Amino acid sequence: MLEVRKCDVDSTHAYRLLHPKHTILLTCTDKKGKVNIITLAWCMPVSADPPMLAVSIRPTRHSYRMIEETKEFVINVPPADLLRSVWICGTKSGRDVDKFEETGLTRTSANEVSVPMIAECLAWLECRVADRIELGDHVLFVGEVLCASVRADAFNHVYRLGPSSRTLHHLGGSSFALSGGLVDAREGGTP
């Protein structure tokens, strides 16, 4: 029998055992048109047909109120070279700063929603809220993907993961991992 050395993890940090998580920048607006960006790692697909995804946000977050008002958001997938902007958008509140101005990121128009996208990102998923579920200290917003687009040089059925298209993955706190190379399990590849 294999001997395994284990240690206990405080249950309030149990979710970190499921990290790294793909890091995204979510853009949203309020009814007056004010825009915000929030960094999230709690984002996942929940349906392929129709295409739907879920994001988990605390009700105390500025973006939560905005999504509640407009029922729209955009998932922007940042490349690794946007780490500084990702950090700013995750540690400063849109109540206090204009994150586009603070980071120098560029707004670009979406196709199906009134929320702007971030031009410097690799991919964009425009969503309309289809459902919301209150779960403990977070609310799960389920968004139907109305339009999905990607930077042409970054994707060919999977991310190409070249130097300009590596993705960020949150490990917890201020720690992030960068996507590396690809391995193909069908070909017996090893990491």
| Of 12-16, 65-69, 99-103, 181-185, the least confident | 181-185
The pLDDT of residue 43 is above 90: yes
For the four alpha carbons of 106, 165, 113 and 139, in that order, the dihedral sign comes to: negative
> How many residues in the chain?
191
Domains with residue ranges and CATH for the chain: 20-167 (2.30.110.10)
**For the segment 104-134, what is each residue's pLDDT rounded down to a tens digit?**
999 999 999 999 999 999 999 999 999 999 9
Alpha carbon separation from 17 to 5, 21, 46 (Å, rounded): 16, 10, 20
With beta carbons less than 8 A apart as the criterion, state whether 116 and 74 touch. Answer: yes
Degrees, nearest 5: CA angle 71-77-79: 155
Question: What is the reported pLDDT for 190?
Answer: 57
48: β partners: 51
pLDDT at 174 over 80: yes
